[in-house]
Structure 1
């Protein structure tokens, strides 16, 4: 069987804000350490940078190893791309498989773009590209597996959804929240 392609789609959120959050956090830490070093300020700046990463930079959508992969803030969902029936991008990325909807905030349209979506603007944009590519990967995966679209076989694939938790990011967030509370209380 042929190897399934890997394709990742950049988030439509502003990665500039994520990078700016890191720079601001680093600047706050440096200024605080130069000015005396209050651990509460350091903990708050580190927590701010971590939350910026998990909220802005970590979420993304991709196709990898025959799966549609949705990275969320603190978890990752994987479902067989061949099970995907529909894909729409409005305010969020939405894929349906087996009658269930899977949502990711990584790829979205602006409010104005979501409202105009009904017109099917002839000018192609990134959200249209993502919709088309994921649907292409789904059709290709079904063809490779010999599974007809809208069949019981396709719906059965939708039962193979896996969620894994991003334990390092959860643990880091917990540690920084506890550190912030302890340093503020002391």
Structure 2
């Protein structure tokens, strides 16, 4: 179902992997360009296909993932799909090494927001102080020094609570289960096609070598 141009209430910036992602894509692109422009460079069809495959996977896993929120939906753009979750249907939100959202007892994850391994081993958030400041018309914003993953976790929980209140949906109710039926997943056909095609070319070129 097409959604057209959407107005996002909030967009959460990725927490890690951007620099390495850019480096990986640039290196992969350079190998492809050299292999195509200069056939005598030693970068044959297998190398070029592998570079395309690696570049597509690096882009999809490190640069593409993002978490956005519309008025009524949590939108998670991942490597091979975009998942749309009704905010009122969300049962829980937690950020560990990845963002994990529970809807209808099913777990949906996004690598866009996460904690380092060391941060994920810290004590539960209920035992830590949170520095949150209410801003009229903007909800909660992170104060200086607050961990960004903590802020995302709290902000998403607040947005989900607001959606439940707005639609008069209680946690664990039949109404929430009905709203959860509107979860949708849209495959990223371009990304899938590039990965499959590049993988096939690499395998066939190795087999025929």
- Runs of 4+ in structure 1 off by over 4 angstroms are none
Query: How far apart are residue 5 of structure 1 and its match?
Result: 4.7
Instruction: Return the match for 2:40 from 36, 39, 54.
Output: 36
Matched, 1:133 2:155: yes
1:81 aligns with 2:78: no
- After TM superposition, list the pairs within 5 Å mapping 1:23-102 onto structure 2: 23-32=26-35, 33-34=37-38, 36-37=40-41, 38-102=44-108
1 CA distance for matches of 2:148 and 2:81? 24
CA distance in 2, matches of 1:182, 1:100: 38
* Gaps in structure 1 of 5+ consecutive residues: none
Please give the TM-score of this superposition, normalised by the length of structure 2.
0.77
Give per-residue Cα distances to partners, 1:161-182, cap 9 Å, x unaligned.
Answer: 1111111111111111122223
Give TM-score, length-normalised by structure 1.
0.86
Gaps of 5+ in 2: 1-5, 131-144
Cα distance 1:133–1:69, how it changes in 2: closer, same or farther (>3 A)?
same
Seen in structure 2, the aligned counterparts of structure 1 residues 17 and 174 have a Cα distance that, compared at 3 Å, is same
Out of 22-31 and 124-133, give the one that drifted further: 22-31
Partner Cα separation in structure 1 for residue 121 and residue 129 of structure 2: 11
Shift of 1:95: 1.5
Indicate the larger mover: 98-107 or 15-24: 98-107
Are the aligned partners of 2:8 and 2:68 in contact in 1 as well (CA < 8 Å)? no
Aligned equivalents of 1:169, 1:4: Cα separation in 2: 25
Indicate if the aligned counterparts of 1:4 and 1:66 stay in contact, CA closer than 8 A.
no
Q: CA deviation at 1:65?
A: 4.7
